[in-house]
Amino acid sequence: MPVSSGIVHRYVPGEATADAVSATQELVATGRRVTLDFLGEDTTDAAQAAATTQAYVDLLDGLSAHGLAHGAEVSVKLSAVGQALGADGEELALANARTICAAARELGTTVTLDMEDHTTTDRTLDTLRTLRVDYPETGAVLQAYLHRTEQDCRDLAHEGSRVRLCKGAYDEPERVAFQDRHEVSLSYVRCLKVLMGGAGYPMVASHDPQLVQIAGALASRFGRTPDSYEYQMLYGIRPAEQQRLADAGETVRVYVPYGVQWYGYLMRRLAERPSNLTFFARSLITKG
């Protein structure tokens, strides 16, 4: 195995549904919440899209059976459920996403649609709007490094709208995305001000200590209570900080990927942005 099992299990708890449920149990027991991602990106045919959809339904059933539905939701990439499969991909992905949303609602939890590279942003937001007609609790994800995102935040900062704001991990061209890390951080703060000042439910997805601090200050400025927003961090990244925030009464949700395609997940995270290599290496040195 080219990647040591220790590194893999630090960031991906396992391949099976049982592994995901076990990791969720451990996190929920510490006062944290969870969002789970079944690693099935880059689906190449309808059968694989259907299998990924069923994997999510099975996961939701497993969470419910262990009394974890309240503390855990699922994150779904539309590419994993068929979005990229030619002319019919959009409809297939929508139908599969509906199936997952219906299963989640029945069990008392929610779905968030992950965002991918900029070529899919409009299509993903279109699908989100369609899903929200019947499932208004469906969460959105916006990436602060895209030039367009501040306006997208304005469009989505309405009552009942759950919006995860992350910096973005894909290697995007200069014409659509900020390239300088400082510019990305400035954009993140601008977007966060819109979301915190809006009527929706912001989900602050960042491991950046300064941005976490700014998020807390903005929440106070806009009179938000801890149940009206949340922090999100990746499984295995800054676990001590996750716990510190949770112990302080903040809502903290951990993004937990699992599945047989873990190798692709790790390699994509590194390949999409070479700086991720430094980030992962640093997180191995410091557990905070």
Indicate which residue of 32, 37, 98, 114 is catalytic.
114
Torsion angle defined by CA atoms of residues 218, 220, 222 and 225, in that order, rounded to the nearest 10 degrees? 120
Amino acid identity of 261?
Answer: Q
Q: How far apart are the first and last CA of the chain?
A: 27
**DSSP E strand stretches across 167-251:** 201-205, 230-234
Among 106, 110, 102, 16, which Cα is nearest to 53's? 102
Indicate which residue of 132, 164, 253, 273 is catalytic.
164
Q: Quick check: is 180 catalytic? A: no
Query: Which DSSP helix (H) or strand (E) runs through 244?
Result: helix 239-247
Strand 33-38 relative to strand 72-77, pairing? parallel
Asked if residues 110 and 137 have their Cβ atoms less than 8 Å apart, the reply is: yes
Which pair of tokens denotes residue 159? 């009552």
- Within 10 Å of residue 1's Cβ, how many Cβ atoms? 7
Strand 72-77 relative to strand 162-166, pairing? unpaired
Burial class (CB in 10 A: 0-12, 13-18, 19+), 240: exposed
Q: Quick check: is 114 catalytic? A: yes
Amino acid identity of 159?
Answer: E
> Hey, which residues are catalytic here?
114, 164
